[in-house]
Amino acid sequence: MSNDNIFKKIRCDICGRKIYEYNRYEHLRKHELLIASAEFRIVRKLIIDKHILPRKEQYPLAYKYYYEDIESLLDEHITPLYSKVIAEVNEMVRDGKEKDAVRLLRSVPSEIRDVVVNKTELPSNLRWLTYNIHIM
């Protein structure tokens, strides 16, 4: 790329503003951050108000830039709702009743099952069973 091209003005595909070629990626990143912020506000509202964990595919930029904040919200607002289930699963695991623990975890809504399963003492080699209903 020659020096003449970097000083060329181009139009942003998103906002239509004229920007220098050399500033293009920084400008697009600002758009991405604004979109991520808007997505995070939606995810936050769904977690706090409706106790729903939106899928990463629905709000990819929120998960990309605000993953730790989303995890914190889950710990604060979703995990307490399932503390009895988590305690019961852990008790079953300690008593050697892993099959019963898996069955109980299958009763947790699929949208938040990962969060709940990760808070239990269920061995990692059995966690995939919580998603395969036809096996046990």
- Alpha-carbon distance of 136 to 65, in angstroms, equals 38
Report the chain's mean pLDDT, rounded to a whole number: 88
Regarding predicted confidence, which is higher, 127 or 30? 30
The predicted pLDDT at position 2 comes to 55
Query: pTM for the whole thing?
Result: 0.73
Average pLDDT for 19-46: 95
Q: Two tokens at 112? A: 């938040």
Residue 75 three-state SS: helix
Considering just the CA atoms, what is the radius of gyration of the chain in Å? 22
Instruction: Tell whether the model's pLDDT for residue 53 goes beyond 50.
Output: yes
For tokens 């990819």, the residue is 60
Half-sphere exposure of 66 (CA within 13 A, CB side): 23
- What's the pLDDT band for 136 if we cut at 50, 70, 90? very low
DSSP state of 19: E
Strands 9-11 and 18-20: antiparallel
